[in-house]
Structure 1
Amino acid sequence: MSIHNWARTALEQNLEAAKAGGFTEELALRALLSAVVERSAALRSAEDLAQELTFLADNLDAECDYSFMRP
């Protein structure tokens, strides 16, 4: 199992637990994202983390190539 598959499985388990606790998926995802960023900030520089988050935000559209790719 790849680390990405592991993360997706862990996410699904946490979303199920949140739903059982009466939380919406949107609220749970926002809280999880906040917790991941907070934990990551303890291990990485703010600049490094900001660059990764910016890259992910800039490439949210699955229909488009990543900004660094050439046609």
Structure 2
Amino acid sequence: MSVYKLAAQLMQDNLAAGQAQGFNDQELAKALMNEVIGVYRRERTIADIAHELNFLAENLDEDADYAFMRP
């Protein structure tokens, strides 16, 4: 299993657990994102984390090419 498939499965498991406790998906996603950033901060600079988050934000459209890709 790839790390991305593992992450997707863990997310689905956690969303189900959160719903069982009365939390909606958006609330849990935000809390998990905060935890992910906490893990990043253990070994990465704030600037590096910001760069990663900006890259992800700029490439949210799954149908568009990444900004650095050439036609």
Fold shared per TM-score above 0.5: yes
> Shorter-chain TM-score: which interval?
over 0.9
Aligned partner of residue 17 in structure 1, secondary structure? helix
Q: How many residues align?
A: 71
Q: Where do 5+ consecutive residues of structure 2 fail to align?
A: none
Shift of 1:28: 0.6
Calculate the aligned-residue CA RMSD, in Å.
0.8
> In 1, Cα distance between the equivalents of 2:2 and 2:63?
24
* TM-score (norm: length of structure 2): 0.93
> In 1, Cα distance between the equivalents of 2:69 and 2:39?
30
* TM-score (norm: length of structure 1): 0.93
Shift of 1:41: 1.0
Identity rate, percent: 41
**1:26 alignment partner in structure 2:** 26
Q: Where do 5+ consecutive residues of structure 1 fail to align?
A: none
